[in-house]
Amino acid sequence: GAGVSQTPSNKVTEKGKYVELRCDPISGHTALYWYRQSLGQGPEFLIYFQGTGAADDSGLPNDRFFAVRPEGSVSTLKIQRTERGDSAVYLCASSWTENTEAFFGQGTRLTVV
Amino acid sequence: GDSVTQMEGPVTLSEEAFLTINCTYTATGYPSLFWYVQYPGEGLQLLLKATKADDKGSNKGFEATYRKETTSFHLEKGSVQVSDSAVYFCALSTLVTGGFKTIFGAGTRLFVKA
């Protein structure tokens, strides 16, 4: 596609439920990043994939958060037993390995009620 | 660890005023520096970047110079327009295994009045 695509654009879920957020990166981009942006804050790094493997997952807040990229393209961020504090906009970005510029998707706004 | 600090907003200016948004960073090694912009209802977009000391990034009338001695990358524009109203994020990118990791500041909201 022309840009990074994230689905759904909005997700409302009940506390304790499981959610999956999807990211389709720009075709051919090998690097993929997940960020979380809370209201009034800058994007907070969660995890970075190079190809299929997670090169850096140091930003995942706890073991309820997990992300996969099984074929080195689409990625899914999974959140178990959601809490109200997980409410935020989850951003995905992709880039070429050799180019530091990251292209961002529009984000998924997650609301846990 | 690496971090980015930028001036708190909101910043409110009249059209054609001069803009400065301060940004300082802490990093090991030699990061690349960026300004990203988020217009209302839109995703983050790269505004400009600089990859080494003394480089000047520029785009759409905005400029920022990579100052290694002061670890700063302040954003400037000589004459702002209403359409510049947005949130501006300073960021740095450092090399990690197999690629780059970008760390963002908290953002500065700019309002430009007609």
How far apart CA A38 and CA A87 sit, in angstroms, is 8
- The predicted pLDDT at position A6 comes to 96
Residues of chain B neighbouring A35 (CB-CB closer than 8 A): 104
Q: Please give, rounded to a whole number of angstroms, the shortest distance from the CA of A111 to a CA of chain B.
A: 17
DSSP letters of B87-112?
Answer: EEEEEEEEEETTEEEEEE---EEEEE
Structure confidence by residue, pLDDT tens digits, B36-86: 999 988 889 999 999 999 999 999 999 999 999 999 999 999 999 999 999
- The predicted pLDDT at position B101 comes to 79
- The predicted pLDDT at position B63 comes to 98
Cβ of B42 and A101 within 8 Å? no
- The predicted pLDDT at position A40 comes to 80
Cβ of A33 and B102 within 8 Å? yes
Q: Does B24 touch chain A (CB under 8 A)?
A: no
Cβ(A88)–Cβ(A80) below 8 Å: no
Percent of chain B with pLDDT over 70: 96
Q: Does B108 touch chain A (CB under 8 A)?
A: no
- The predicted pLDDT at position B94 comes to 81
Selected residues 70-109 of chain A with any CB under 8 Å from a CB in chain B: 91, 93, 95, 97, 100-107
> At residue A79, what are phi and psi to the nearest 5 degrees?
-125, 120
Q: β-strands B62-65, A65-68: how paired?
A: unpaired
Instruction: State yes or no: pLDDT of B100 exceeds 80.
Output: no
Give the pLDDT band of residue A98 (cuts 50, 70, 90).
low
Give the pLDDT band of residue B102 (cuts 50, 70, 90).
confident
Q: Which whole number is the average pLDDT over A75-102?
A: 89
- The predicted pLDDT at position B1 comes to 81
The pLDDT mean for chain A works out to: 92
Residues of chain B neighbouring A30 (CB-CB closer than 8 A): 99
Structure confidence by residue, pLDDT tens digits, A34-50: 999 998 888 999 998 98
Q: Please give, rounded to a whole number of angstroms, the shortest distance from the CA of B30 to a CA of chain A.
A: 13
Q: Does B46 touch chain A (CB under 8 A)?
A: yes
Buried b vs exposed e over A68-95: b needs ≥16 C-beta within 10 Å? ebeeebebebebeebeeebbbbbbbbbb
The pLDDT mean for chain B works out to: 92
- The predicted pLDDT at position B93 comes to 87
B80: β partners: none
Residues of chain B neighbouring A101 (CB-CB closer than 8 A): 34, 46, 49
Q: How many beta-carbon pairs below 8 A join chains A and B? A: 69
Q: Which whole number is the average pLDDT over A70-79?
A: 96
E strand or H helix that includes residue B41: none
Give the pLDDT band of residue A54 (cuts 50, 70, 90).
confident
Q: Please give, rounded to a whole number of angstroms, the shortest distance from the CA of B38 to a CA of chain A.
A: 10
Lowest-confidence range among A4-8, A39-43, A104-108, B7-11? A39-43
Which chain A residue has its CA at the smallest distance from B98's CA?
A: A50
- The predicted pLDDT at position A71 comes to 93
Q: Does A110 touch chain B (CB under 8 A)?
A: no
Cβ(A36)–Cβ(A6) below 8 Å: no
Question: Length of chain B in residues, anyone?
Answer: 114
Instruction: State yes or no: pLDDT of A99 exceeds 70.
Output: no
Residues of chain B neighbouring A44 (CB-CB closer than 8 A): 104
